[in-house]
């Protein structure tokens, strides 16, 4: 029974120490901190800009679905649609999405594209070198065959027996 507990604990430990779990935890913490920044920007910058045309608090923007909404004994009578809070949440989402895209996604995709292009160029250069090396070897072979002259075997290929090289001639 203790063997099962040990193996379960070891499995849990290996799960926690995987890179994906740690990366996810870091992303959640960074996301929470980033949400606070976006909320502060919306409340400190966007809401006052909207307030220049109306009230400073977006949550106070509302419309009544039927007739007029009246406050009786501290409660709103009527069906009230709080479109100001929806507008505030939408602005927060758009700001968050824009910042994530322009500061994280776009630079990362450009970096990955540049890296892929460099990798492709390296592979292309390597293939070019291989092809060029093959071409050079063919040229060397053809030059050697041409230097041998007319000494060919019955098969029509240059013979290797009795052939003298230019450096060997005396």
**What's the mean per-residue pLDDT of the chain?**
76
Give the model's confidence band at 145: pLDDT under 50 very low, under 70 low, under 90 confident, else very high: very high
Banded model confidence at residue 114, pLDDT cuts 50, 70, 90: very high
Q: Report how far residue 18's alpha carbon sits from residue 128's, in angstroms, rounded to the nearest whole number.
A: 40
Between residues 115 and 103, which one has the greater pLDDT?
Answer: 115
Q: Tell me the CA distances in angstroms from 49 to 46, 53, 55, 135, one per residue in order.
A: 5, 8, 10, 70
Residue 155 lies in a domain: no
pLDDT confidence bin for 127, thresholds 50/70/90? low
- CATH number of 18's domain: 1.10.1200.120
In a domain, 14, yes or no: yes
Q: What are phi and psi of 63, to 5 degrees?
A: -135, 150
With respect to residue 6, please indicate whether it lies within any of the assigned structural domains: yes
Query: Which residues fall within 8 angstroms of residue 122, CB to CB, at 6 or more apart?
Result: none
25 lies in a domain? yes
Instruction: Say how many domains are in the chain.
Output: 1
Q: What is the spatial distance between Cα 27 and Cα 24, in angstroms, rounded to a whole number?
A: 5
Residue 38 lies in a domain: yes
Residue numbers of the domain that contains 35: 2-113
Buried-exposed string 5-43: b where 16+ CB fall within 10 A, e elsewhere: eeeeeeeeeeeeeeeeeeeeeeeeeeeeebeeebeebbe
51: left (phi over 0), alpha (psi -120 to 50) or beta: alpha
Residue 125 domain-assigned?
no
The reply to whether 98 falls in a domain is: yes
Asked if the structure places residue 75 within a domain, the reply is yes
Q: Supply the pLDDT for residue 58.
A: 74
pTM: 0.47
């Amino acid at each position: 029974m203790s063997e099962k507990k040990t193996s379960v604990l070891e499995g849990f430990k290996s799960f926690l120490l995987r890179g994906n779990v740690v990366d996810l935890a870091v992303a959640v913490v960074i996301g929470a901190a980033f949400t606070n920044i976006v909320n502060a920007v919306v409340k400190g910058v966007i809401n006052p800009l909207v307030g220049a045309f109306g009230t400073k608090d977006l949550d106070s923007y509302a419309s009544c679905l039927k007739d007029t909404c009246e406050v009786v004994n501290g409660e709103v009578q009527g069906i009230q649609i709080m479109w100001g809070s929806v507008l505030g949440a939408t602005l927060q989402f758009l700001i968050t999405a824009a910042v994530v895209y322009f500061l994280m996604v776009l630079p990362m995709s450009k970096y990955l594209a540049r890296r892929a292009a460099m990798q492709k160029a390296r592979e292309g250069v390597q293939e070019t070198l291989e092809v060029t090396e093959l071409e050079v070897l063919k040229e060397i072979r053809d030059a050697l065959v041409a230097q041998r002259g007319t000494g060919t075997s019955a098969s029509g290929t240059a013979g290797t027996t009795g052939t003298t090289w230019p450096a060997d001639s005396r």
